[in-house]
Structure 1
Amino acid sequence: MEKWIMGIFLIIGSVEDIRKKEISGIYLGIFFLSGLAVRFIELIFGNGISPVVSWIAGCAAGAVLAGAAKLTREAIGYGDALTAAVLGVWLGFPALIEILFLALLLSAVYSAWLIFVKSTGRKYKIAFLPFLAAGYLIWLLLAGEGKSG
């Protein structure tokens, strides 16, 4: 169920990021808080401490990206950083890192295409959430999660 929730979250967020070049704080907050609630319920009903460490680390990775957003004057957007925190809470640290790697790889290929084929400048801004969504879908397929049955 979590994987469907994250897919819907990323698709809706991607549309908003493409249209407005920003992601609603309320939207991010709802998914973040609901992820925390689910994780705390899991903790109370006994899934052990190691999943807690994973989602705290995932959330911390989002916080590190928020710091990078501050340092780079939002070359990395706060919405992208908070989206990473949401993914970290819902999916855990290892999954977040894998998805971020895939998203960065995809966005680098697209950026190279924009620069070399479309002749856009280096400062051209792209929406990153669609790459997170694509990275997430690839991650699901590579992990065998896309299979039915």
Structure 2
Amino acid sequence: MIRDSIKSRFESVQAAGKRLEDQLRPQLDKASAELKKVLANMGADVSEPRSLSEVVSQIRSKNPTFRELTLRLDVATYDLRKKLWWDANMMTAYFTDKAGKTYQAEVRPKLTEARNRAESEARRLIEQVRDLAPSRTGGEQE
């Protein structure tokens, strides 16, 4: 019994891990490809796996001055920066649109209902005050 429970929990954790990996793998592959493009544009040979120190040495040899390094870095990352800017703008537009739709569908009706309840309660209280006011003035006159 306990063994079956532990086994089922373990399997569900494995399944969740697999789903997470399946979701993240495309983004990691895309990021890896973009990094390889940037490194290649900076002057590194990325055709086969290399150590970080080898990549840095290659980049230094291709860019002996700080000015050359910054210019090549600017050129190498231009497309990537534009893609990131575009993606950020599109995500912002998507979430803004989604937030607007959620507001219209869920939040606004609740606010309207609360306002209507508050207004009707205020009207009821005002009517009670008006009903009480004449009887007090009438009671004071007697």
State the TM bucket, normalised to the shorter chain.
0.3 to 0.5
**Greater relative CO, 1 or 2 (CA 8 Å, sep 6+):** 1
Higher-helix-fraction structure: 2
| TM-score of the pair, normalised by structure 2 | 0.33
| TM-score of the pair, normalised by structure 1 | 0.31
